[in-house]
Chains A and B, each alone.
Chain A
Amino acid sequence: MTFWTPARRRKLKIAAAVLLVIAALGAWFAWYEFFREVPEGPWDADVANGHSAADVRFMYGSIGAERDAGIPYWIVYVLPRVFPDKLPGPNGLASFGLPWEEGKELPVGFTTKVIGFKRVAQNCAACHTETYRTGPKANRAFVPAGGDHTFDLEAFFRFLVDCAKDPRFNSSRLISEIELSRPPDFTWVDSLVYRFVLIPITRQRLLAREAKFAWIYRHDPPRDWPDWGRGRDDAMNLTKYFLTTSPLDDTLGPTDMPALWDLRKYQGNPGTRMNLAGDSWDANSVIIDSALGLLSAAPPSNEKFLDEVHWLNRYLDDRPPPAFPFPIDPAQAGAGRQVFDANCASCHASARTGTVVPVEEVGTDRERLHSWNKDAAVRANEAVKAFGIDRKGLVEADPTGYVATFLDGIWLRAPYLHNGSVPTLRDLLTPASQRPQVFYRGYDVYDPQDVGFVALEQQASRLGVSWADVTGHGSRFDVRLRSCGNQGHEFGVNLPAADKAALLEYLKTIVKPLPNW
């Protein structure tokens, strides 16, 4: 008489089979809801806005950040609606000044990908697509690879953390807002997944960012801790605290989001360095490091990741800046060329271009230099190596000065100097003591006369722009605050007025990188 009678065996088999089916269904459910990947693209050219398919991919294509840094779509959707008080302006998500094309569901640089559920993350274009308008009533032009001068990245970072810290960030509140906008196929299963999994986990993950972002919340004296403002980011501190987990120091070095067009120009001369203070060896390394920052984790697949980096590098190598969109006086520009050759070319069209100029010589604000050091570079290089990624990497030395910049598309790279402390090229040709002390950055109506964006009330009234609109869409920039100094680069400031006018005219014409040999 054995315990395993045939009847008991049969029952066991049935039970096992049932369990197996349940487990399989559960596994399928978990895979479907949380891991299933839906491929994106293909990218079609956007003829109406003058963008090639590659431009569209650059602006909206995933670089793989959704898996670890992605936020569930419907949370991103309702956050500006649940927390309007925490936005930098009254206009919902648009308040961050992100480039956002009419007709598009999300701003440029925001990518969506379904990995189980639809997630939103960012790509390079959020900080490297620029907008401008030729007048207050003109259509907005979008320039992929341009330096974004309107996006308040720091406010965006803070917003996500501040929302997570607010008691309103709870499943009931967020789901009741989702209910107002959800499509019919957002079922009760989706609602349960959001309620019990996605919202609580997202909250925890956003809260976990707070410690690493400690320095953007600092206001402790004696140092002042100004906001980055629109179009600037504290790039090296971001690298330090996110890629290398260095301990908090007292530095603050926000700088302009750079334009990324024509990267091939950095290949001509072996002395050229990347980044504003020459902290990186080559474009490939900069793209890898910046992209890793967006992923905020090791890539799921190094091969795919490096393919994407390679594509970005090729795209940016040959993407030119747009031509100046107003008339240029050719005779005046020709005269300006002479002035340029005599006064500017030694740094901006010579073997020196793209190489580091000692800070003592250029005399511009030093805070950015303090925000980076040899030690950090060593650790960052180790961190990337630990991911199994080979690259030439960051320069393992303390920074000593700023790179003499190439001038291709300089007309669109306002405000000027590495920290964006001088609103227009006309101001840059003025002695530092006479440059504007307070102005607004982040407004995208262009001023062809002063060569830069509308930043001052006098420009606004001359161009028929509402000053309330400028202050409403810009951030106030005070050059007396830390890292915001507008001193230095006092080159050409004593030229005769006629020469300055001619030089400005010539600078408008520069689209291609000037030869640096």
Chain B
Amino acid sequence: MNLWRRRFWILVAIVVGVPLVIAILLAMRFLPDRPVTYANIEDHFKYGSTGGERNAGFPYWIWKAMPVIFKDYLPRNGGQGYEAFGMVYETDGRGNRKDLPVGVMKRRNLGIDRVFVNCAACHATTVREAPDKPPRVIVGMPAARFDLGGFEQFLFDIAVDERFRAAVFVAEIERQAGSLGPLDRYVVYPLAVEIMRGQLLMLRHRFGPVRPDLWGPGRVDTWNAAKAGLNFDMGRLPAHELLGPSDFPSIWNQRQRKHRDDGKPMQLHWVGNNDEVNERNLSAAFGTGATPSTVDHAAIGRIQDWLLDAQPPAYPLPIDKTLAARGAAVYKQYCADCHGASGQDFSGRYVGHVTDVDLVGTDRDNFDTYTYDLAVSQDTNYAGTPYRFTHFRKTNGYANLPLDGIWLRGPYLHNGSVPTLRDLLEPSGCRGPAAVARPVTFYRGYDVIDPARVGFIGTVAQENGRTFYLYDTRQDGKHNCGHEGKIYGTELPPADKDAIVEYLKTF
């Protein structure tokens, strides 16, 4: 009897105990869901989680392996790895380059570290005061260097490359990380590669005829990305709706954008299609992979609160106070009604209102990509939660924006088609030949500011082996027409234009 009893308990231990131990070990490996957190709010913005990694996150080691395996798909501009897409790496306290670039977040999820882009990818980058000065990362400014479209195109391309398979990734990961255990080697990474390829193929399919490779650095085709997210049948969209990239915006001073002179909130986005700051933020967070089921409201809320009063840095070079004072007077007469009394005071009759697209006359491609049908379809986002979208509207033009930190927001106009503010005060040449006109082509992605004309220097094609993006305003979605004529100040004497530009440095 005792013998059988003992055997029985051994059997129980084998049948119940062993699986239990295995289950506990697996749970410890695969169940934790832990973002890397940062006490400092700027670090949280640059590297903190939005929750999007749970949905879209790349396994960390796949992220590390991709630019090595698919080196041949990287843009050939002299940048190494993800720097080829204009992503920027900070150095840590000891002068070592950080492991992940600004705008990439990390979370332990499903048994592996997963990474994905966060808000800072598109809303932070580097600036230099002069070619020989060190680059300074500024948070909240448009990521003028980041080629999001190029990055997306890279992912679309590698997903259909024959090397996108487990054996190739495992070999590269082992080269970088050392030998993998059997669980990782035979189960986790093969599965991760399969799942990731499936998701990339889905994204590639949903973008259909949209061409991210045509966007260029600092720009994104927001509304076509939104349509792809809703799985619109992009192939049947009319041609004029398929290419309308616009510049990444700056995102400081959100509190002041909640009010305009008539008491209503400002109309946000370039086309002014939403006037609710938090809803606009959740909409933008889709770009970080955050969906209603994966979004980390607490983490995004922290960023949201900080952005209410986040400020752009002051212009770092000397400002000619006399000239600026003269510029202030001209600005008040010509610009203030639409763009605010100053860089800190956003009052003005038309600030945060939309100007008819035919009146402002700027490239209408971005305006055309946003449709009524998209607006109502966006109202289904976040269904079943208190966050459901209710504020998207089809408007008739582009919004008049406040100009806080405008010196960091070049190139100018919604599509980034004018390299400097001084150029913006010249006619485009679209309405007939002009003696002095805005540049027909210029380079984007160079991070040295232009102290005379304000904006980034657009005449540098390369520096230290790194080439920059040639922006041709004759191409679709890149026209530099509009925002010109008497009321826009392009007929002012040159001295007045210089004065306005000097004044705008104080914003």
Interfacial residues, chain A to chain B (CB-CB below 8 A): 77, 80-82, 84-85, 87, 89-95, 100-107, 137, 140, 179-186, 466, 468-469, 472
Choose one: A87, A102, A468; the contact of B376 (CB below 8 Å): A102
CB-based contact B356/A184 at 8 Å: no
Chain B residues positioned under 8 Å from A186 (CB to CB): 293, 384
Subset of 22 A-B contacts with CB under 8 Å = A77-B383, A81-B230, A82-B231, A84-B233, A87-B233, A89-B236, A91-B237, A91-B374, A92-B230, A93-B377, A93-B380, A94-B377, A102-B376, A103-B392, A104-B390, A179-B293, A181-B291, A183-B383, A183-B384, A186-B293, A468-B238, A468-B240
Closest chain B residue to A98 by CB distance? B376
Residue of A nearest to B235 (CB): A90
Interface residues in B259-294 by Cβ distance below 8 A to A read 291-293
Main secondary structure of the interface of B (DSSP, over half): loop
- CB <8 Å contact, A104 and B379: yes
Contacts A84-B231, A105-B388 given: A181-B394 contact, CB under 8 Å? no
Name the A residues within 8 Å of B240 (CB-CB). 466, 468
Q: A87-B233, A182-B293 are in contact. List 6 more A-B contacts (CB 8 A).
A: A91-B227, A102-B372, A102-B394, A106-B380, A181-B380, A184-B293
Q: 4 shortest A-B CB distances, which residue pairs?
A: A91-B373, A183-B384, A94-B373, A84-B233
Contact of B356 with A137 in the complex, beta carbons under 8 Å: yes
Q: Is B311 an interface residue (CB 8 A)?
A: no
| Inter-subunit contact A105/B383 (CB<8 Å) | yes
- Roughly how many angstroms separate A399 CA and B233 CA in the complex, as a whole number? 43
Interface membership of B381, Cβ < 8 A: yes
Which of A95, A106, A182, A466 touches B373 (beta carbons < 8 Å)? A95
B201 to chain A, nearest CB (A): 14
Cβ-defined partner of A84 (8 Å) among B232, B291, B375: B232
Which residue on chain A has the smallest CB distance to residue B393?
A102
With A77-B383, A91-B374, A94-B377 known as contacts, the answer to whether A183 contacts B233 (CB < 8 A) is: no
A180–B381 CA distance with the chains assembled, in angstroms: 10
Q: Chain A residues with Cβ under 8 A from B375's Cβ?
A: 102
Contact status A103-B391, CB under 8 Å? yes
- Decide if B376 touches A100 in the complex (CB within 8 Å): yes
Residues on B with C-beta less than 8 A from A100 are 376
User: Which residues of chain B in 476-501 are interfacial with respect to chain A, using CB atoms and an 8 Å cutoff?
Assistant: none
B373 touching A105, Cβ below 8 Å: no
Q: Are B383 and A140 in contact (CB under 8 A)?
A: no
Contact with A along B210-243 (1 / 0, CB 8 A): 0000000000000000010011111111101000
Task: Tell me if A's interface is mostly helix, strand, loop or mixed.
Answer: loop
**Quick one: closest B residue to A92, CB to CB?**
B377
- For residue B240, which residue of chain A has the nearest CB? A468
Counting CB contacts under 8 A, is B80 at the interface? Answer: no
| A186: min CB distance to chain B, Å | 7
Q: CB distance B232 to A105 under 8 Å? A: no
List residues 349-388 of chain B with CB under 8 A from any CB of chain A.
356, 371-377, 379-385, 388
Contact A91 B232 (CB under 8 A): yes
| B-chain residues with CB within 8 Å of residue A469 when the two chains form the complex | 238
Q: Is the CB of B356 within 8 A of A91?
A: no
B376, A81: Cβ atoms closer than 8 Å: no
Inter-chain contact A182/B393, CB cutoff 8 Å: no
Interface contact B396-A180, CB-CB below 8 Å: no
**A179, B195: Cα distance in complex, Å:** 15
**Which residues of chain B come closer than 8 Å to A182, judged between CB atoms?**
292-293, 384
List of A residues within 8 angstroms of B373 by Cβ: 89, 91-92, 94-95
Tell which of A87, A90, A107 has the most Cβ of chain B within 10 Å. Answer: A90
Which B-chain residue is minimally distant from A78 (CB atoms)? B231
* Total contacting residues, chain B, CB less than 8 A: 37
Bound-state Cα–Cα, A497 to B274, Å: 48
- With a CB–CB cut-off of 8 A, which chain B residues contact A90? 232-237
Cα distance, A484 to B494, chains bound together (Å): 65
Residues of the B chain whose Cβ atoms lie less than 8 Å from the Cβ of A81 = 230-231
Assembly CA distance A93 to B377 (angstroms): 7
Instruction: Return the CB mask of B34-49 against A: 1 if under 8 Å, else 0.
Output: 0000000000000000
B interface, CB within 8 angstroms of A: 55, 227, 230-238, 240, 291-293, 356, 371-377, 379-385, 388, 390-394, 396
The answer on a CB contact under 8 Å between A102 and B291 is no
Instruction: Compute how far the CA of A179 lies from the CA of B356 in the bound complex, rounded to whole angstroms.
Output: 39
A472 touches B233 (CB 8 A): no
For A183, what are the chain B residues with a Cβ–Cβ distance below 8 Å?
292-293, 382-385
Taking the nearest CB of chain B, how far is it from the CB of A111, in angstroms?
A: 15
Contacts of A93 in B (CB 8 A): 377, 380
Name the B residues within 8 Å of A82 (CB-CB). 231
* Interchain CB contact (< 8 A) of B379 among A80, A85, A95, A103: A103
In the assembled complex, the CB of B347 is this many whole angstroms from the nearest CB of chain A, namely 25
Give chain B residues whose Cβ lies under 8 Å from the Cβ of A106: 380
Nearest chain A CB to B197's CB is how many angstroms away?
15
Contact indicator B377/A472 (Cβ below 8 Å): no
Of A95, A179, A183, A472, most B-chain CB atoms within 10 Å? A183
Q: A90-B237, A183-B292, A183-B383 are in contact. Are A101 and B376 (CB under 8 A)?
A: yes
Question: Bound state CA distance, A91 and B374, in angstroms?
Answer: 7
C-alpha gap A103/B381 in the complex (Å) = 11
Contact A105–B293 (Cβ < 8 Å):
no
Closest beta carbon of chain A to B331's beta carbon, Å: 30
Q: Given A90-B235, A181-B291, do A77 and B396 touch, yes or no (CB 8 Å)?
A: no
A454 to chain B, nearest CB (A): 15
Min C-beta distance of B218 to chain A, whole Å: 28
Given A92-B232, A184-B385, verify A102-B396 contact (CB < 8 Å). Answer: no
Chain B residues with Cβ below 8 Å from A104 are: 376, 379, 390
Residue contact B383 to A472, C-beta cutoff 8 Å: no
Given contacts A92-B232, A137-B356, A183-B293, contact A102 B379 (CB under 8 A): yes
Which chain A residue shows the least CB distance to B383? A105
Q: Is the CB of A181 within 8 A of B388?
A: no
How many whole Å from B274's CB to the nearest CB in chain A?
A: 11
Q: How far is the CA of A194 from the CA of B276 in the complex (A)?
A: 34
Considering the complex, give the chain B residue whose CB is closest to the CB of A84.
Answer: B233
B381 engages A181 (CB within 8 Å): yes
Assembly CA distance A379 to B379 (angstroms): 43
Q: Looking at B356, B383, B396, which has the most chain A CB atoms within 10 Å of its CB?
A: B383
Distance between Cα atoms of A84 and B232 in the complex (Å)? 6
Bound Cα distance from A84 to B238, whole angstroms: 15
CB within 8 A of A91: which of B377, B379, B381, B391? B377
Interface residue from B55, B293, B390, B396 paired with A103 (Cβ < 8 Å): B390
A94→B234 contact, CB < 8 A: no
Could you say which residues of chain B place their CB within 8 Å of the CB of A140? 372
Task: Kindly state the separation between the CA atoms of A36 and B385 in the bound complex, as whole angstroms.
Answer: 21
Query: How many angstroms between the C-alpha atoms of A292 and B384 in the bound complex?
Result: 29
* Smallest beta-carbon distance B53→chain A, Å: 15
Chain B's nearest CB lies how many Å from the CB of A250? 33
B384 to chain A: closest residue by CB: A183
A82 CA / B234 CA spacing, docked (Å): 13
Nearest CB on A from B213, distance (A): 22
Taken together as a complex, chains A and B put the C-alpha atoms of A102 and B389 apart, in Å, by 10
**Cα separation A178 to B163 with both chains bound (whole Å):** 31
- Complex interface: chain A residues within 8 A of B379 (CB): 102-105
In this complex, what residue of B is CB-closest to A91? B373
What's the minimum C-beta distance from B237 to chain A, rounded to whole angstroms? 5
Chain B residues with Cβ below 8 Å from A468 are 238, 240
Give the chain A neighbours of B393 by CB distance below 8 A.
Answer: 102-103
The residue in chain B whose Cβ has the minimal distance to the Cβ of A97 is B373
Q: Nearest-CB distance from A184 to chain B (Å)?
A: 6
